[in-house]
Amino acid sequence: MKTVNVKASREYNVCIERGILKDAGEMISAVHKPCKAMLISDTNVAPLYAKTVTDSLCASGFETVSFIIEAGEESKNAVNLALIWEALAENSLTRSDIIIALGGGVVGDLSGFAAATYLRGIEYIQIPTTLLAMVDSSVGGKTAVDLKAGKNLAGAFYQPSLVICDPEALKTLSAQTFSDGMAEVIKYGFINRPELLSLLESDFDIADVIEICVEDKRDIVSLDEKDRGLRQLLNLGHTVGHGIERCSGYSITHGSAVAAGMVIITRAAIKAGICDNGVLEVLIKLLEKFSLPTSCDFTAQEICNAAFNDKKRKGNSITLVIPEKLGESGLVPYDVDKLLDFISGAWKND
C-alpha cells in the first residue's frame, strides 16, 4: 500500500491501493472508534460501491445511514447542504460520529463542508472514486458549495481524518470523467513537477501518478494550509477555468475547463513575454493525448467578467498562476482592470 502522510491542522494518511474499498471499515476503525456513520454519495457512485463500503463498515462495528444526492456539479449547492444537516440531525449523529464521503469532488466538497459546520465540526473520511478527487479535491481540506455568483464561494478549510484511494474504482469512470482528472494531473507537472510530465508521455501506473500528485499537494498544503500564498499555485488554469464553467452554465466539466484555462493563461503569458515558448507545445501535446480541449468558444471579455467573482480576488486584485518555464510556475497579482488586457493576449494572432 502506498501511504502519504499529510501534516496540517489535522494529521492524516492518504492510502492508495487497488481493492481496498472492501477494507474501508477496518481502515476507518483504526482512526476512529466504531460509531454512527453517515455515508454520503451520489446516484452514479452509490449503485457501484455503497454496498461494498457499507458492508465493510458494518463488519467493523459501525452503524450506517446514507444520504444520496443527484450526480453532477449542480448538486453542490446550499440546498443540499441544508438537507444533509437535517438528515444528520434526524439520524441523531453527535460529535463522536462521522461522515464518510464516497464519490467525486462534488460529494467530497459537500460532505466536508457539512462535516465542518454540523455541530460546529465532526470528523469525516474521504473515499474518492474519481481521478480528479483522488489527486486533488480529497486532499488538503478545502470544502465548499457553489453560489449563483460562482464556484466554491462558500466553504471552509477542514481536513479529513483519512483518505482512501482505490484505483480500481477508476475502471468504472467514463472516458470524459477520467480525462477531467488528467487535467489536474497535468497541472501538477506544470506547477513544479517536470518529472511528472515525462512520466505522462510514456506508459504509466495510475497509482504512481496519484501518489506523486498527492505528495506534491501534501508538501504545498503543509506550508500554506489556508491558501494565503504558495497553495495558490494549485490554481493553475482555474481562474480562467472557473470562468469557462460559469459561462457554459456548468455544461463544460471542471477538468475540460481547467485544461482550456491552462492553455489560455499560457498563451497569454507567452504573449506577455513571461513564459518560454516551448511550454505551450508540451502542454497542448499532453492535453490532446488525454482528449482534453485546448480552447474555448467564449471571448476574453466573457471569461474576465466571470473571473471577477473568483474567490481568489482580493479587492481590486486577483492572483494568477503563470507558467514561466517547463515544470515551473509563479504567482503574479493583477489589477482587475488589467486582467482583460492580459487574457486577451491568448486570442491575438502572432
Last residue of a domain, one of 114, 143, 172: 172
Could you give the C-alpha distances from 142 to 24, 95, 99, 123, in angstroms and in order? 22, 20, 16, 14
pLDDT at 330: 95
Q: Is residue 349 part of a domain?
A: no
pLDDT at 313: 66
Residue 64 has pLDDT above 70, yes or no: yes
Same domain membership, residue 8 and residue 102: yes
Same domain membership, residue 296 and residue 265: yes
Structural domain range at position 336: 175-344
Same domain membership, residue 148 and residue 297: no
Residue 150 has pLDDT above 80, yes or no: yes
pLDDT per residue as tens digits for the range 232-242: 999 999 999 99
- Domain with residue 249: its CATH number is 1.20.1090.10
Same domain membership, residue 105 and residue 183: no
The tally of domains found in the chain comes to 2
Last residue of a domain, one of 172, 200, 227: 172
pLDDT at 267: 96
Same domain membership, residue 166 and residue 133: yes
Same domain membership, residue 116 and residue 129: yes
Average pLDDT over all residues of the chain: 94
